Structure 1
């Protein structure tokens, strides 16, 4: 089985792994209700995408 000729340095190893970090989801506020929502998604509270485009009607909660 093949083995490395030279030891990989910590800097080279870490720079190779620099792109492996997980990103946190981007959270923004709904323009209508002010509730937190995921960016580029429809708000579950109001049914709006952005300020003007209503995607679905929201039923009243008891």
Structure 2
């Protein structure tokens, strides 16, 4: 396993960590009449639709 020979400076450490950004999750709208926002490629938690078909029974 690679081990650093010398300590990395503070500016180099911060320069490397500057690339670690949180990404906003992509959202899509459900085709149901309520137009809820859902994560793509997931069934809607409110109506149970996926690609316009019911796949989950909702109460």
TM range, smaller chain: 0.5 to 0.7
The alignment's C-alpha RMSD in Å is: 2.7
* 2:13 is the alignment partner of 1:2: no
User: d(CA) in 1 for partners of 2:5 and 2:44?
Assistant: 54
TM, length-normalised to structure 1: 0.56
2-structure distance, mates of 1:30, 1:57:
16
Using the TM superposition, give the Cα deviation of residue 3 of structure 1 relative to its aligned residue in structure 2, in angstroms: 2.6
TM-score (norm 2): 0.58
Query: Following superposition of structure 1 onto structure 2, how do residues 1-62 of structure 1 map, counting pairs within 5 Å?
Result: 2-3=5-6, 14=15, 16-17=16-17, 18=19, 20-33=20-33, 34-51=35-52, 53-59=53-59
**Runs ≥4 in structure 1, deviation > 2 angstroms?**
1-4
Q: Which segments of 5 or more consecutive residues in structure 1 lack a partner in the other structure?
A: none
Structure 2: 5+ residue runs without aligned partners? none
Aligned pairs, how many? 53
